[in-house]
Structure 1
Amino acid sequence: MKNLQFSTYIVVGATALFMSCTSDDDNYVVIPSQDILENRIVELYGSKDVLIQPLATDFNLIPNDANNPLTEAKVTLGKLLFHETGLGMNANMDEGMQTYSCASCHHAKAGFQSGILQGIGEGGMGFGINGEGRFKNALYLETDLDVQPIRTPSVLNVAYQDVMLWNGQFGATGTNEGTEANWTVGTPKETNNLGFEGVETQAIAGLDVHRMVIDEDFILNSEYKDMFDEAFPNVDASERYSKLNAALAIAAYERTLLPNQAPFQQWLNGNLSAMNEQETEGALLFFDDAKCFSCHSGPALNAMDFHALGMKDLAGENILTTIDDATKRGRGGFTGNPDDDYKFKTPQLYNLKDVTFFGHGGSFQTIEDVIRYKNNAVVENQDVPSAQLSTLFTPLNLTDEEIDAITAFLENALYDSNLQRYVPEELPSGNCFPNADTVSSQDMGCE
């Protein structure tokens, strides 16, 4: 379908054979490009329904961890705890106490990733407009900061991931079966031994990693008590107000973060005017000549595969922490298998244009930059051996027009402009969120 024109023709009576508009056969009828797109998706997956995301309230359709079934009460509790700065009570410095939350590095205005290149929990100040104004508190040393050594992944579409993080280290099932020897005792990876999937495992481990505390007095003396009671009615009261249950509620909420109002999702659901002509052309290329679908599929347009694409790690004078060797090695840094070195998990593709950095090291400034990088297939990180590179990392020979079309599809057709529906209006604690330091409070007008 190279250089496919939008008035495409098909020979009458031919089955699943798309011809260009330069066909010599005069016996043809015009087929709209969206029909061709639908036929291509059906050819690949059997039905376009495979790509449709459920409503956030369709708990039976959202992938669940069998050990943490979704309920409305659990999701409601998790939504508040995810944003609750009052949980930040294990800070290294007094200045950081109760100033950060899960949402400090995963908030709606940045597509549920960090608004800055290197997410900062404790030790960060400021928010700006969309999270881009967060900076290091000058009182903090590098060793006191809670800062990410890799670009913060989005928590959109985590329901379609059985392992979490760029190296996939969190999760006890599916993809991580056989990695038990690497669930190191005394590290966050030990949490895998609880047997949960990746979303739940990361939420449990993350509360400790990011210095949050589920204080029973805090819970019992607030509206949170009744919410825990409703969310976990079958758990004995002596164990109900716990870190484990708080994390399970947070994970339940995260599983409902579905960008299902994006134009492509609307189109899949029958709204033929949801995507314009260029976006439709980009979608056709995505699912055909550009071969994007080879790695990105399913409702989240992601995968549980790990690939080495030779992208750079976090680097530069503004990076706030040393990037360790295990982080640079990606999946190999977790599994210890040299064959996994420099491989990183295939990310989801929705709401990318909320930030200006892409790749696990944030080395690209635009979505178009990433597409051009994959189109040229020339490695930017010389530390990655050519033998490690994915066999799918080969030149695509796309034209500038085709690159523009794919960019339009990714930027616009996969963009849900109403993620604020997943954000609480206020917290039971009354605290500012997603950050509660003085500068953030000023930026957000919640002093």
Structure 2
Amino acid sequence: MNSLKNRILSLIILVLVSSCQTDESFVEVPDNAESTANLQSTLRAKLLELYGSLDALILPNSEEYTAIPNDPENEITQAKVTLGKLLFHETELGIAPKSDTGRRTYSCASCHHAKAGFQSGIKQGIGEGGWGFGLSGERRIPHPLYDTDSIDVQPIRTPTILNVAYQDVMLWNGQFGSSGENSGTEAQWTPGTPKEKNKLGFQGVETQAIAGLGVHRLSVSPDLIENGPYKNLFDEAFPNIAQENRYSLINAGLAIATFERTVLANEAPFQKFLKGDTNAMTDTELKGARLFFGKGQCYQCHSGPGLNGMDFHALGMNDLSGDIIGNVDEATAKGRGGFTKNPEDDYKFKTPTLYNLKDVAFLGHGGSFESVKEIIDYKNEAIPENNQVSTNQLDPLFVPLNLTEDEVASLTVFVEHSLYDGNLDRYVPDSTPMGTTCFPNADIRSLEDLDCN
């Protein structure tokens, strides 16, 4: 009898103990689960194997001017950066429009603003002739009073200025820059075109900034500077240039270029991980990073601190299409080949940075992808979408990666989150010397969208 009572009592105790346990006690741990510490250590080991040091991938602080790649002909200084930051966002420079309707309503930042990772936020960035902004540029459309031919747009998706310090030539076809990849292309620096600015002898960032002011109908005249609040800023930025040559469009471009070189995504979680922060990345992000630098082979094109590259690749992506302004000309469609005139360069485009893509709704040079996952799927399957690009023109690296759905998901999380600097507003001024406080546009619709009225 006592034996039966004891068995019943033991059963009751077992039930009570079991009922007090939390649901977590029943979570099964997969056999392939790895500890965070192991994920971190194996990632570091892989990076050391590839680069020899984690420093090879670290973006410097934006104030470490000597650590940021400089153009020897345009040393980065605090005074230049300060001036360039203001000029980059200054809508008062929009004084060379095709229509008075757009006068003083646009800036460099119209197509390169912080809310979209210093891209445009739309498939085709609009400078002069744009109307509206939305939350991150997504509502900018052609102004209803503009003819299509008068709107300032390009026949290719607007690239970012983020991490451009790690590029020696600029734009998708690399046409700006007098050295590096462009050595030997002098015959293509056509007089009377923006490419002629290469003859000034600067690197890509500087050349593009100078040429871009003219292309995008922005002007800096001596009268505007000498009789305005920017004079002292130019004096501080260019003290060694004779006063009669100091207040020029070229120097404005050089100041903008120094600012652009300091626009770095150095607060992204991956950057924090590289600097020793063991809490910067989740386990999924760490797995994605290992795939990026391993099975996914992403690092073969996207490398260095900017995770970009100076090589040009033909990946068979589509050009701009659908509801676009204007047409895509043959030279633009041919990418690098459209600039160099070398058939071997046809349909090759420069490798972009992978930082801050989460806010970008259009990816690829033609904006044919609407998410990071879409473009990873495309590269994983390696089936070209552009019928104009023949098989023998495709890059040898464009081959199936055989990533599983889970691996694609982890890789997507790494790119979207670990490479995302959420504090880019630090590169936007509170106001400019001319009183501008609303960025990046000053048309009536944008002022409403930005709550600047």
**TM-score between both structures, scaled by the size of structure 2:** 0.92
Mind listing any 5+ residue stretches in structure 2 that lack a counterpart?
1-30
Checking the alignment, whether the CA contact within 8 Å between 1:214 and 1:243 is kept in structure 2 is yes
Match of 1:78 among 63, 80, 84: 84
- Structure 2 counterpart of 1:363, from 368, 383, 389: 368
Indicate conservation of the 8 Å contact 1:89/1:97, yes or no: yes
Alignment partner for residue 134 of structure 1, among 137, 140, 143?
Answer: 140
- Secondary structure (helix, strand or coil) at the match of 1:163 reads coil
Q: CA deviation at 1:150?
A: 0.5
Query: Structure 2: which amino acid aligns with 1:370?
Result: I
Aligned partner of 2:334: which letter?
R
For residues 226 and 158 of structure 2, what CA distance do their matches in structure 1 show? 33
Task: Note the residue ranges of structure 1 that are not aligned, 5 or more in a row.
Answer: 9-29
2: CA distance, partners of 1:237 / 1:41? 50
Other-structure match for 2:34: 7
**Using the alignment, how far apart are the partners of 1:190 and 1:67 within structure 2?**
18
TM superposition outliers: structure 1 runs of 4+ over 4 Å: none
- Are 2:96 and 1:90 equivalent residues in the alignment? yes
Counterpart among 397, 409, 415 of residue 404 in structure 1: 409
Deviation at residue 221 of structure 1 after TM alignment:
2.7
Distance 2:150 2:111 in 1: 17
CA contact (8 A) 1:290 1:396 kept: yes
Structure 2 match to 1:245: 251
Give the equivalent residue in structure 1 for 2:355.
350
* 1:26-425 → structure 2 map (5 Å cutoff): 32-316=38-322, 318-425=323-430
With over 3 angstroms needed to count, the CA separation of the structure-2 counterparts of 1:6 and 1:192, relative to structure 1, is farther
SS of 2:271 mapped into structure 1: helix
Is the Cα–Cα contact under 8 Å of residues 98 and 436 in structure 1 kept in the other structure? yes
RMSD: 1.3
Bigger share in helix: 2
The more displaced of 130-139 and 55-64 is: 130-139
Tell me the equivalent position of 2:451.
445
2:227 and 2:190 map into 1 onto residues whose CA distance is: 36
Deviation at 1:141, TM superposition (A): 1.6
Q: Secondary structure at the match of 1:32?
A: helix
Kept in 2: contact 1:6–1:33 (CA 8 A)? no
Distance between the aligned counterparts of 2:218 and 2:240, measured in 1?
25
Q: TM-score, normalised by structure 1?
A: 0.93
Aligned residue identity for 2:357: L
String of CA shifts for 1:365-398, please: whole Å, max 9, x gaps.
Answer: 1100000000000011111111110000000000
Which residue in 1 is equivalent to 2:20? none
CA contact (8 A) 1:6 1:32 kept: no
Q: Secondary structure of the equivalent of 2:231?
A: helix
Deviations 1:310-342 (A, max 9, x none): 0000000x2011110100000000000001000
| Greater Rg over alpha carbons, structure | 2
SS at match of 1:228: helix
**How far, CA to CA, are the matches of 1:332 and 1:172 in structure 2?**
17
* In structure 1, C-alpha distance between the alignment counterparts of 2:274 and 2:135, rounded to whole Å: 32
Paired positions, count: 423
Q: Which amino acid aligns with 1:351?
A: N
Q: Could you list the per-position Cα deviations for residues 126-168 of structure 1 after superposition, in whole angstroms to 9, with x for gaps in the alignment?
A: 1111111111012212211100210100000000000000000
Shift, 1:169, TM fit: 0.2
Deviation at 1:6, TM superposition (A): 4.7
Instruction: Kindly provide the CA deviation profile for residues 10-52 of structure 1, in whole angstroms up to 9, marking residues without a partner as x.
Output: xxxxxxxxxxxxxxxxxxxx96110000000000000111000
1:242-277: CA deviations, max 9, x gaps?
A: 001100000000000001000000000000110000
